[in-house]
Structure 1
Amino acid sequence: MSVPSRLALIFALVVVLAGLTGLVVDVHAADSGDASPPAETLVSVSDDALWPYTSKTRSTAGRTLAINVVVHGETDRVRRTFLDRDWERGSGPKLVPWRSAHGATRFTYAVVNGSGRWLAESFQANDGSYFGSRVHVRGYAPPSANWTALQAHEEYWDWFRLRHTVVGVDSAQSYVEDDLRMTPGVARVTHRSLGNAGRVNGDGVATTVVFAAALLGSLGRFRRVTLRRGALVAALPVALVATARVGAIAVSGDALPGVPPKAVAALFYPVLALALPWLTARLARPLLPPAAFLVAAVGGGAAFAFDLFAVGVTALPVDLLVHRALLALALGLLAGTVADADARSGRYLTAAVSASVVVWCLVLARALFGL
C-alpha cells in the first residue's frame, strides 16, 4: 500500500474513531450523577411536581432542553397518540404522521406521591428523517401519574458532529400543539408558564393539553372531594365572621379594659379582609371553578346574613344588602379563579387572580371609605 493510501486510511480511521468516541461519551454521560434538583426549581403538575427540563445525566449538571408540552390524560393513551394512531380509521389527513424514533437517552425528574426519581423517556417520536431534519418528541410518563411531560424540538443530522443539532423549540412546540388540538378526544388546549425560558428553550410558556378522559377524571375527583372540601369552603366564611364578631366582643369587655374600640377593630379586621380570601383560595384549589365559585359565594352570603341577624339587624337597608351580596360574589370570584389551577395557563391564571383580588379590595373599600 502506498504512503498516500496509508495516510488516507489512517485519517479515515481517526475521523471514524473520533465520531464514535463522541457518540459513546454521549451515551455513557447518561449514567453519571444522581442528585435531585432543588425544590424551588420544580413546578406543579396536578398533585405532583416536575423539573421542567431534560438532562443528559441523572443530575441538573447535564441540563439540556426545556419541557414545553404537558398532557393530562392516561399515559398509555398519550403514547398511542404518538406511536399507534390508526390512520386508516379516520385520524385525519391533517394530523401529523408521528413515528417511533431513535435518539440519545435524556432524563427528567418528577415527584409523584411524595417520591422523587429521575425518569428516562417512556417513548420517542418524530416526524421527519433521522438523517435529514425532523421534529423530535421525547415523552416522560411517571409511574402512577395521569400526565405526560413532552420535550419537542426541531433538529437536523450534522455529519461533521455525527449527531443531531437542535435548531429551535418554539416551532416544534407549535407543531405538536396544532396536532394535538385536532386530535380526537382532546378536550382543552391552554398554556401555562413553567419558568424555564432561555436562549434555546423559548419563552418558558408550555402548552397544556387535557384529554377528555382526564376531564372526566377531574369530574370524578371533584365528586370525591366536593362534599369534604366544598363544605370547608362554605363553612369557612361563617367561622371567620363569627370569630371576628365574638372575639371583638370578648376582647372589648373585661379581657382588655381600657383598650380603644378602634384598636380592637384593627386587631380583628384582617381576619375578614385578609384571612378570609386567602384561606378560601387555598381551600378552593382542588375544586372545579363553577363549584368553587358557588360554594364560596353561598358560604359568604350565609356568613354575612347570619352575622347581621346575630346582632339583631332584621331590616336590611338596600345599600347594605347590595354590599354584602357583592362581597359574597367577590369571594366566589376569587375561589373560582384559583380552582383547578394546575390544568390552566399560568399567565392568564395570574391575571385572573389579580383581577379578582382587585375586585375584592374595591368591594371592601366601598364600605370602608364610603365609595
Structure 2
Amino acid sequence: MWGNERALPALLLVALILVVTLFAPFSPLVERSPDERKTVKDVRFVQPADDGVRLWPYTSRGRTFERATLPINAVVMTDATTTYQLLSTTPGGGQRLYWNTTEKTWQPSRTAQANVTINETGVYWAESTGSERYTFTMSNRSSQWRDATYQLHHGTYFGSRHHLRLYAGGSRDRPWTAIQAHHEHWDWFRLRHDVNSLSRSQHYLERDFRGIGLVTELSRERWANGGAIDADGWVTVIELEDRVTRGPQYDADRSETPSADSRARSTRADSQTQSEHTHTAPRVAAYGLAFSLVGLAFAGYVESVVEEGREYAAESREYVRRLRESPLSLNHVALFASTALIPLLVRVGGIAAEQAFPFTSPKVVGAPFYALLAVGLPAVAVLFGRHLTATDGFTVAILGFGTGIMLDYSYLGLTVIPYGALVQRAVLLVGLGLLAAGGTRWATEPIPRHRYHTVGLALWVWALVWPLLG
C-alpha cells in the first residue's frame, strides 16, 4: 500500500501544495473590477459625439454606480439597430442591407435595391443571452439608466465566446452605440460565465468592422476607464460612411456590387490515391504464419490448463489476492480515469448539446451535465475509493480530479482563472479526496474513516453552493 490511514492528515498538506502547483500558471492575472465607490457627483462622464449627450463609460450590475463592473470599450457612430444588423447578418452569398422606407429600418436583402454590403469577414455573430447590465447617459434635458438593447456572441455558451452588449445612445440627429465587449468562458462548477479578457474581444471587434468595408475611420480615444482585468482605458471609436448613418439618404451612384470573392467561393477537389497491392501476397503469408504460431501457443496453453486445473485455480486465487494488495490496481486506474475524464466529458457534451438544440434554454440543456458533474464525481470517488486504502483513495482522487480540471482549461485554451474559481477548485479537490478516502472497505480505523466521508461531503456541497449564494 502507499500508506495507512494515519498518514492522511499529512497528505492534506501535500494536497494544498499540489493545488498551488497546479494552478500557479493561472495566478498572475485574476478577475478584477472597479472597486471605487462612485456617486453621480464624482463619476467621470465622457461625450462620444458633439450632441450634448454624455455617457458613464462603465456597465453596472444594477441601476447604481456602486455596482460598477466592466468598462465600455467601443462605440460605433450609428444607431444600435444598424450596428446590430452590420454584425449579425449571415455572412456569405453577397448579402446586403437596404433601407425599408415603410418600416423605417435596415433590412437584409439580395435584391438590386440593397446598397450596403455587410459582414464579409466570415464571423458569425448570433443573438445571445446573458445577465442584465446597465449603463448611464445624461444630457441637459434628462438622464437615465439603460439596459442592453442587443446582446451578441461569437462562440459557444457552454464553452468560450466573445460577448457583446450594445447600448443605444446619443441624440436623434446623432445616434451612437456604446459596446461592452469581452471574452468569457462557462464555469460548470460555479454556473456562471467568467470573463477572461476585454482587450481580446476589443481587437476582435475592430478586425470585424475593418472587414465590413464601410468604416471611414477607426481610432482609439483615451477614456481612462481601465483597471478591470486587461482593460487599458483606450476605447475603440468607429465612424461609418454617410450612407449607413443617414439611412435612405445615400448616393445611389455609389452603390456597390458584390465582389467576385463574396459571390463565389473556391472549392478544392479532394484527390484520392489508390492503394498499392504489390506486396499483398507476402503480407498475407506473414499474417498467416503469425496467426498459426499464436494458435499453436494458445492450444498449448489450453492443454496445460486442462492438465493442471487445480494448480491453476490456486494460482489464480493467489493472483487476485496479490492484485488487491498491490500498489497499483484496476481500482486505482478507474478512480484516476473517471475523476479526470468527467469534467472534460461534461464540457464537450454540453457544447454538443447546445449546438444540437439551439432554440432550447441553456438551463434545460445544461441540467443533466451539471448533475453528472455534481453527483457523478462524488459517486465514482466512493465507488472506486472503497476498494483502496484511505491514503490511496485520497491521493488518486485529487491527482485525477486535478488533471481533469487542467484538461478542461486546456480544452478552452485559457491562461487565466478568476480568484474565486481558484479557491473553489481547491476546496473541491480536498472534498473529493476525502470522499474517496472515506469510502474504503478495508480501513482499520472506522471512526476516522467515517469522519473523512462526512467532512468530504460537507466540503463538496459547500463549495458548489457557495458561488450560487454570491
Q: TM-score, normalised by structure 1?
A: 0.46
Q: TM-score, normalised by structure 2?
A: 0.37
Q: Which structure shows the higher helix fraction?
A: 1
- The answer to which structure, 1 or 2, has the higher relative contact order (CA under 8 A, 6+ apart) is 2
Indicate the structure (1 or 2) with the bigger Cα radius of gyration.
2
